[in-house]
Chains A and B, each alone.
Chain A
Amino acid sequence: MAERLRADLVLEYPFTRTTGPVIGAFLTGLREGIILGIRRPDETVLCPPTEYDPESSVPLTDLVEVGPGGELMSWTWVDPPRAQSPWDQPHGLGLIRLDGADTPMVHGLLVDGPDQLSVGMRVTARWRPEREGHIADLEGFVPEGADQ
C-alpha cells in the first residue's frame, strides 16, 4: 500500500461587509474611542447593539455611550492563542457588562495570568492608538486602575 497522503488545505475568504446603521455606528464609536450600546423600549441597554429588539423585533435606533469601565461576569483563559487570534500572547476571554449596559459583550482580558482574573472584578477598555472602525480597535480590557 502506498504511503498515506496528506496536504495542507486553506479555505479563505476576504469578505468586506456593509454594516448597516447600527453596527456602523458601533464601529464608528470604536474608531472615535467610545463604546455604544442601544436602548430598548423598556430602557435597558444592549451592548453590543443590535438593529432589532431580540424579544419583540421592534427596530432599535437610540444609541447611547456605555463604559469604558465594566464588570467581569465570566471568563476563561486562552493559552496558547490560535494562529488567527487577534492576540499573540496568552490572555483571558471574558463577558464584560459595561457601565450603563444590561448585557455583557465578549472581549479579551489583557493580564499576565488567570490568577489576576475573578468574576465581579472591575475592568476597563484599553484602546489601540490607531483605530479604523473595527472591533480590534479595542485592544481588550484590563483591571481598573492598571496602566491603560
Chain B
Amino acid sequence: MSADPSISPAALSGEVSLPEKLADVEPVRSVRTPIRLEYDFIPGSASSGYLNAFADRKILGQQSPVDGAVFVPPRGVDPRHGAATPDYVELPDTGHVGGFCVTRLPIPGRDDLEIPYVSAWIHLDGADIGFLGLVAGIDTSEVRMGMRVRAVWKPDDELGRTAENILYWEPTGEPDIPVTAAGTNAWHAKQAAAGEPG
C-alpha cells in the first residue's frame, strides 16, 4: 500500500475506541517531555580572541577580505564567500537597535531576567551585522528600531573573558537612526550605493 494524500486527519477528532477498563477514567491529555543537552564548550580561535578581548572591555569583530563587511561576533570566516577572516577589528561599544522583542513571560531557568524585558539586535557602529543583547534603562514601550545605545559594563573588577561583561544596552539619548538605515537596512543601503545586490 502507498500513502493516500486524500485521507483527512480524522483520527485527530478524538474518536477512538478503548478497552472496557479505561472507559471511565480521566484521559491523559498532556505529557512532560523536557529535553536537556549538556555541552563542554571550547571556543575556536576566532571566538577565543573575541572572548579574551572582553576582559579588557573590548569588542572585536572580523573583516571580510572580499568586501570589507565586519562581522561580530567573529567566526573566523565570511560565510557568504567561504573566505577566512584572520583580521580582527576593534569596535566601539556604541550602536543602535536594529530590531527587538519585548518578552512578557518568564523563561524557565532565567529567573535573573525580570519581565518584561527587551532583547534586541544591537548593530555596533562599524559592524555590518547585529548581535543579541538586552536593552534596559528605558521603559519597554519606548524601545524602537534605530534607537542609539551604548553598553553598560560590569565593574572592572568583575570583568571576565565573557560576553556577559555587558550587562545590557542603554539609550544614549542621541537622535535615532532612520528606520530605513537601521539594522540590516543599513547593509542593504550600503550595497545599493555600491551598485551591488544586497
Interface residues of A (CB under 8 A from B): 2, 4-25, 27-29, 31-32, 34, 36, 51-53, 55-65, 83-84, 133-134
Contact flags (1/0) for B26-65 with A, using CB distance below 8 Å? 1111111111111111110001100110000000000000
With A16-B33, A134-B32 as known contacts, state yes or no: A9 contacts B38, CB within 8 Å: yes
Complex contacts, A4 vs chain B, CB 8 Å: 42, 48
Distance (whole angstroms) from the CB of A17 to the closest CB of chain B: 5
Complex contacts, A18 vs chain B, CB 8 Å: 29-30
List the count of A-B residue pairs having beta carbons below 8 Å apart.
Answer: 142
Complex contacts, B3 vs chain A, CB 8 Å: 55-57
Complex contacts, A84 vs chain B, CB 8 Å: 36
Kindly state the separation between the CA atoms of A89 and B111 in the bound complex, as whole angstroms.
33
CB < 8 Å neighbour of A27 from B9, B17, B28: B28
Kindly state the separation between the CA atoms of A21 and B36 in the bound complex, as whole angstroms.
27
CB < 8 Å neighbour of B39 from A11, A36, A58: A11
Contact A12 B21 (CB under 8 A): no
* 23 contacts across the A-B interface (CB closer than 8 A): A6-B42, A8-B41, A9-B40, A11-B39, A18-B29, A18-B30, A19-B31, A20-B11, A24-B28, A25-B22, A25-B28, A28-B27, A28-B28, A29-B19, A31-B28, A34-B22, A51-B11, A55-B1, A57-B4, A59-B10, A63-B16, A63-B19, A83-B38
Kindly state the separation between the CA atoms of A30 and B42 in the bound complex, as whole angstroms.
42
With A19-B31, A28-B27 as known contacts, state yes or no: A12 contacts B109, CB within 8 Å: yes
Contact B11 A17 (CB under 8 A): no
Contact B33 A17 (CB under 8 A): yes
With A8-B41, A65-B19 as known contacts, state yes or no: A21 contacts B32, CB within 8 Å: no
Interface residues of B (CB under 8 A from A): 1-5, 7, 9-19, 21-22, 25-43, 47-48, 51-52, 108-109, 161-162
Kindly state the separation between the CA atoms of A32 and B92 in the bound complex, as whole angstroms.
63
Closest to A53 in B: B1
Contact A21 B11 (CB under 8 A): yes
Closest to A7 in B: B41
Complex contacts, B162 vs chain A, CB 8 Å: 7
Kindly state the separation between the CA atoms of A106 and B127 in the bound complex, as whole angstroms.
51
Contact A34 B11 (CB under 8 A): no
With A5-B42, A6-B42, A60-B11 as known contacts, state yes or no: A16 contacts B17, CB within 8 Å: no
Kindly state the separation between the CA atoms of A59 and B3 in the bound complex, as whole angstroms.
11
Complex contacts, A6 vs chain B, CB 8 Å: 40-42
Kindly state the separation between the CA atoms of A20 and B4 in the bound complex, as whole angstroms.
21
Task: Rank and list the top 6 A-B pairs by shortest CB-CB distance, nearest first.
Answer: A59-B11, A133-B28, A9-B39, A27-B28, A56-B1, A21-B14
What would 9 more interface pairs be, CB under 8 Å, given A4-B48, A10-B38, A60-B11?
A: A8-B41, A13-B35, A15-B34, A20-B11, A21-B13, A22-B11, A23-B31, A61-B11, A63-B18
